[in-house]
Structure 1
Amino acid sequence: MTTFTHDAELIQQVVDHIENHLALQQADELSVAHLAQQVGVSPWHFQRLFKTWVGETLGNYIRGRRLSAAAQQLLHGSDSIIDIAFAVGFNSHEAFSRSFKSQYGLPPKQFRQQAPAVDLQQKPVLSQQLYQHLSEEMQRQPEIITRPELTLQGFKTRIPSPFLVEGSYCHLLENSWRQLFSHLDQLPGHVPHTMMGITISDSGRFDEPELDYMAAVAFDDAAALPSLGAGMSRYSLPQQTIARFSVASVDIDTVGKTMDYIYGYWLPDSGYQRASGDDYELFEEVMDMDFSNIKSSYVIPVSALPESS
C-alpha cells in the first residue's frame, strides 16, 4: 500500500467518524486523542497528518462541518435555531450564533430569512476524491498579486448555473472555444498564448438559474482593442488583488473540487475575504485546443480582512 493510499484511508476513517458524531457535544468523542486512537496512530502524528493533507486544524474542520450542516437545516428545515444549534453540537445559542456569523457573514436568523441560493462558504465533506485533488492536483497556497485592468473579448454561451446544478456542462462550452480559436486572427494585440474562461453573473451573487460563460482573450491596453466581430462580446476586469491557484488539469470535476477547497478550506483561514468581482480560469501557454499541456489556474478576487480591534 502506498503512503498516499494509507494516509487517504486514515483520513477517510476520521472524516466518517466525524460525520457520524457531529451532533455530539461531548468534546472527548471528537478530540485529537480519541480520533488518533480510532485510526491507530499517535496524537502527534495524527495532528501533523491532518494539517499537512487537509490544510487546516481538526478543530476548524469540525466546526466548519457543523456550521455547514446547520446552514442546510436553516435553509431546508423548520426546527428552531436553538434546536439546530444543539443538533449540530453547540451547547449554547450564543456560541452557535457567533460561530455562524463568523463563517457566513450573517446571524442564523437573517441567513434563514434571506435564504441565499448559493453558499460558497460551505465546508464540503473531505471525500477521498477531494483529498486526492488537494494532495496531487492543485497548489493549495495561492499566489497573491495585483492584476492590472484587463478587457476581455471573445464569445459567450448560456449555461445552467454550476453553483446551483450538479453535473457536467463541458459540452456546452465547446462551441465558444471553437469560435474563439477560429477568430484569433481578428484579435491581434491580445496577451499572447493566454486565454480565460469566465462565468459571469449579472447580479454578482451567482444565484441565477442560468449564467453567461465567456471564452476570451485578454487585452491589457484598451487602445489596442480590435473591433467587435460578429457574435463577439467584451467584458472588463478592473485592477484588483487576486489569489491565483495553480491546478494540474482542466475539466469540470477539477473546477468543482478546486472551488470546494478554496471556499471551504483556504478562504476561512487565509486572512482574506472574497472581494467583489469574478472568478475565472486562466490558461497560459495555449497553442491550440489541446488543453492537456497548458498551465492552468483558478483565480478569485480577494481583499485583506480588516484587523480586529
Structure 2
Amino acid sequence: MHYLDQVQAAIDYIERHIEEELALEPGLVARQAGLSQWHFQRIFRALSNETLKSYIRSRRLSNAMHKLVSSNERVLEIALAAGFESQESFSRAFKKAFDMTPGEARKRDARTFLYRKLRIDADYLQHLHRHIASHEPQIIAMPARCFVGMETTFFSIDSERDNIAEKLPPLWDAFVPRMGEIEGAVPQWAFGIIAQSEAKTDKLRYLAACEVPEDSVKALPPGMQLWRLPARRYARFEHRGETTLLNNTVNYIYSSWLLSAPFRHSLDADVEEYGPDFQPGSPESRITYTIPLADDAPAI
C-alpha cells in the first residue's frame, strides 16, 4: 500500500471511531497505517502541520459543532461524546476553538466553522510544498558502524510533550567538550542518532556521538554509551542552512519524498551527520540527514 493510502486509511479510521476514546489511542491509529507510532506521528505532523492529538480534538469539536446546529441533543451529552469529562471543560475548549460558546453556536447555526477531515493526496502534497525545491537523495550502502557518545531521551515536535529544545542543546553542550576523550574517533565528524525508545511510544532516544572503528572500542569514557548500527542502505539528504531549520528538511523527507519514493523506512535509527562543512548559526552550513531503507528497497 502506498504511504499516502496508509495515512488516509488511518484518517478514515479516526472518522469512524471519533467518539470512541480507547479506539483512538495513538498506537491503534498508527496500526491502521501499518506504521510505528513515532513514524506515523512524524508523517502526520509533516502532512497536517499539527499533532495527531490536536487533529482528533479539532475533529471532535467540529463534530460537536455539527450536533449543536443540527440536533436537539443536550450540551452535556455532546460534551461527553466528544471526550470531555464535563460540560465546563468542553465549553472552555469550544470557546477557545471557535470564539463562541456552545449556546451561541446553536443560536447562530455556525456551520461555516466546521473543521474538515483531512484528505491526503498528491494535490495536497504539491500545495503543502510549493515553496520547497524538490531534490533527490543519494542512495548509499553503509557497512555496520559503531558510535560512542552521550545519550538522552526526548519527545520531538511531533508529540504533544515536545521538549526537544530543553533536551538536545544541553546534551551537545555537554558532549562537545568531551569528544577528545573518545579513543579512535573519526576526526572532524559528529553524529546525532535518533531512534524510537520503545515500540508503543513517541519518546525517542538521541545519541550525540563520534564514529569509532569497531576494533578501537575498549573502555568507554564515563557517562558515555556505545551504539551499533547494522549494515544497511540509506537515503542521504543534504540540509543547507542553520541547524534550527533542520526540521524543515526532515519534514520534506517524511511528508514528500518518502511518501512518493519507491522506498520504505526500515524503522531503524535516523542519523544526523555534522562534518567539516557544518558551521553553527551560518546560512552556508551543511548537514546531512540519512534515513535507513527497508531491505525490500529497489536496487538503484
Q: TM-score range by the shorter chain?
A: 0.5 to 0.7
Q: Which of 19, 23, 47 is the aligned partner of 1:124?
A: 47
Residues 154 and 233, structure 1, Cα contact 8 Å, conserved in 2: yes
Distance 2:244 2:210 in 1: 20
Residues 150 and 207, structure 2, Cα contact 8 Å, conserved in 1: yes
Other-structure match for 1:232: 224
- Structure of higher CA gyration radius: 2
Measured after TM superposition, the shift of residue 186 of structure 1 is 0.8
Other-structure match for 1:301: 292
Measured after TM superposition, the shift of residue 172 of structure 1 is 1.6
Distance 1:281 1:222 in 2: 20
Paired AA for residue 266 in structure 1: W
% identical aligned pairs: 20
Deviation larger for 239-248 or 262-271: 262-271
Q: Which of 59, 72, 89 is the aligned partner of 2:11?
A: 72
The answer to whether the aligner puts 1:152 opposite 2:147 as a matched pair is yes
Distance 1:274 1:131 in 2: 24
Other-structure match for 2:201: 208
Other-structure match for 2:104: none
Other-structure match for 2:211: 218
SS in 1 for 2:187: coil
Distance 2:8 2:166 in 1: 33
Measured after TM superposition, the shift of residue 232 of structure 1 is 0.8
Other-structure match for 2:60: none
Residues 74 and 116 of structure 1: CA distance in aligned 2, closer, same or farther (over 3 Å): farther
Residues 47 and 128, structure 2, Cα contact 8 Å, conserved in 1: no
Q: CA offsets per residue over residues 112-154 of structure 1, 9 Å max, x none? A: 899956515547155988543x22xxx7200001112211111
Cα RMSD over matched residues? 3.8
Aligned length: 210
1:161-176 alignment runs, 5 A limit:
161-165=156-160, 169-176=164-171
The answer to whether the aligner puts 1:248 opposite 2:246 as a matched pair is no
Distance 2:138 2:35 in 1: 34
Q: CA offsets per residue over residues 256-276 of structure 1, 9 Å max, x none? A: x33332233222332222124
The answer to whether the aligner puts 1:267 opposite 2:258 as a matched pair is yes
Q: Which runs of 5+ in 2 are unaligned?
A: 19-28, 49-124
Tell me the TM-score normalised to structure 2 length: 0.57
Q: CA offsets per residue over residues 179-230 of structure 1, 9 Å max, x none? A: 2211122113212111111222233x4x4242221111111x2111252122
SS in 2 for 1:141: coil
Q: Which runs of 5+ in 1 are unaligned?
A: 1-59, 80-107
